[in-house]
């Protein structure tokens, strides 16, 4: 039999390629492969032999051939990304069967499960460029880091970029509040704080609240749950694989989870009020963050203390200057009315963020 035995296929999520093609009659092996596809967020096609319509074989991003079906695949078109998969111990003939069907490699389950989930997820999500990932951290409490992170995300989404905003500060009260979305449906950090291993980027994106054209991973209003380093690593890696831009609002306290976040950033922005005590505090933050993050820049926020300007702050900190965070008249009133930071493209904050993205994305394209 050479027909598909799957039920109606689920609609393809935007930006996601089709899942792998599976060829096997081994019921136990098929159960294992379907479980791994589900873990990777992929919707496979399943056949007992090479499909009658050879285009399905040729077009699939990945072909998983069960060891039991190798003989039935000998006449198939030679192509890349064919894996021969079996269960239990090797036998002397497995490598001969792999050569006969042109397989790239031989996998044995359960030993190779983790590797295979990653491989399936890669093809299901596509192999595009990873997201430009920007972290925002305050030089002191109340510096305006969350406001800038939110404005950057709103601006990126308004300009048509796939955007995810991640709240990395469990004590910050939830960045979804700045977007007026504290009641929006979707997962929050407590639902993901214990995540381990591979997280499918598409599944993550679909599960989060959609606010102002972007996806938001925030905290709820319950008791804070610590983010494990493994969860931070898995979630941010999944977010980055979707492409576009990812903005992370970071705490000033650098714990193990924050270190994991810093390790995945392309660029960090340190927001520093233009006053002597804030600059002194920011210098300590920069020193700690700089042990992990190589590309850290400073954004200076007025009003300015006597004898202080943005260039002086950047020189004292020894960091490149992004610019001066503009004063946003009526920002608090706008927030109370449900308008997010950077919600207007013509506002000073909106123009600042648009200029930032233009420069940052140009730099990324040139790298």
What 3 state SS string does 51-95 have?
A: CCCHHHHHHCCCEEEEHHHHHHHCCCCCCCCEEEEEECCCCCCHH
Nearest to 269 by CA among 308, 314, 230: 314
Collapse the DSSP code of 150 into the 3-class scheme (helix H, G, I; strand E, B; otherwise coil) and give the result: helix
pLDDT class of 14 with cuts at 50, 70, 90 = very low
Write down the mean pLDDT value for the chain: 88
CA distance linking residue 139 with residue 284, whole number of Å? 8
pLDDT class of 128 with cuts at 50, 70, 90 = low
Tell me whether residue 338 is exposed, middle or buried, using C-beta atoms within 10 angstroms of its C-beta: 0 to 12, 13 to 18, 19 or more. Answer: exposed
Please report, for residues 127, 158, 251, 321, the alpha-carbon distance to residue 260 in angstroms, rounded to integers and kept in the order given.
23, 29, 13, 25
CA distance linking residue 32 with residue 18, whole number of Å? 19
pLDDT in tens, 217-275: 999 877 766 788 999 998 998 899 888 999 999 999 899 999 999 999 999 999 999 99
Sign of CA dihedral 56, 162, 146, 251: positive
The whole-number average pLDDT for the span 131-138 is 97
Q: What's the pLDDT score for residue 360?
A: 95
Q: What's the pLDDT score for residue 4?
A: 33
Collapse the DSSP code of 232 into the 3-class scheme (helix H, G, I; strand E, B; otherwise coil) and give the result: helix
Q: What's the pLDDT score for residue 338?
A: 81
Q: What's the pLDDT score for residue 364?
A: 83
Q: What's the pLDDT score for residue 3?
A: 33
CA distance linking residue 55 with residue 66, whole number of Å? 20
pLDDT class of 127 with cuts at 50, 70, 90 = low
Give me the percent of the chain exceeding a pLDDT of 70: 92
Residue 28 has pLDDT above 70, yes or no: yes
CA distance linking residue 192 with residue 287, whole number of Å? 30
Nearest to 101 by CA among 81, 80, 76: 76
pLDDT in tens, 259-294: 999 999 999 999 999 999 999 999 999 999 999 998
pLDDT class of 172 with cuts at 50, 70, 90 = confident
Residue 1 has pLDDT above 70, yes or no: no
Nearest to 166 by CA among 223, 251, 259, 224: 251
pLDDT in tens, 77-98: 999 899 999 987 667 789 899 9
Residue 54 has pLDDT above 50, yes or no: yes
Please report, for residues 48, 144, 253, the alpha-carbon distance to residue 170 in angstroms, rounded to integers and kept in the order given.
50, 16, 11
The answer to whether the CB of 324 falls within 8 A of the CB of 310 is yes
Say what the pTM is: 0.72
């Amino acid at each position: 039999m050479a027909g598909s035995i799957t039920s109606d296929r689920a609609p393809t999520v935007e930006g996601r390629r089709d899942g792998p093609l599976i060829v096997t009659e081994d019921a136990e092996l098929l159960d294992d492969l379907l479980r791994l596809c589900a873990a990777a967020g992929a919707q496979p096609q399943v056949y007992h032999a090479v499909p009658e319509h050879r285009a399905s074989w040729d077009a699939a991003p990945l072909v998983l051939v069960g060891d039991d079906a190798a003989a039935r695949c000998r006449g198939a078109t030679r192509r890349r990304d064919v894996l021969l998969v079996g269960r239990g111990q090797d036998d002397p003939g497995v490598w001969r069967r792999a050569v006969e069907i042109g397989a790239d490699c031989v996998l044995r389950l359960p030993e190779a499960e983790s590797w295979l989930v990653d491989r399936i997820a890669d093809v299901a999500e596509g192999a595009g460029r990873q997201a430009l990932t920007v972290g925002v951290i305050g030089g002191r409490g109340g510096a305006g880091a969350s406001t800038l992170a939110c404005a950057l995300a709103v601006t990126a989404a308004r300009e048509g970029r796939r955007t995810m905003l991640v709240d990395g500060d469990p004590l910050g009260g939830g960045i979804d509040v700045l977007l007026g979305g504290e009641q929006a449906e979707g997962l929050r950090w407590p639902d993901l704080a214990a995540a381990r291993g591979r997280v499918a980027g598409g599944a993550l994106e679909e599960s989060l609240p959609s606010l102002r054209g972007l996806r938001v991973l925030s905290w709820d209003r319950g008791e804070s749950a610590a983010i494990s380093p493994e969860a931070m690593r898995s979630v941010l890696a999944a977010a980055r694989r979707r492409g576009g831009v990812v903005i992370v609002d970071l705490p000033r306290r650098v714990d193990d989870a924050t270190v994991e976040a810093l390790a995945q950033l392309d660029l960090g922005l340190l927001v520093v009020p233009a006053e002597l005590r804030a600059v002194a505090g920011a210098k300590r933050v920069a020193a700690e963050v700089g042990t992990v993050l190589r590309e850290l820049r400073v954004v200076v926020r007025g009003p300015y203390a006597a004898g202080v300007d943005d260039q002086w702050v950047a020189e004292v900190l020894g960091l490149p200057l992004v610019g001066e965070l503009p004063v946003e008249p009526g920002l608090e009133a706008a927030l109370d009315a449900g308008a997010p930071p950077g919600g207007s493209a013509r506002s000073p904050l909106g123009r600042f963020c648009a200029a930032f993205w233009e420069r940052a994305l140009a730099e990324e394209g040139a790298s």
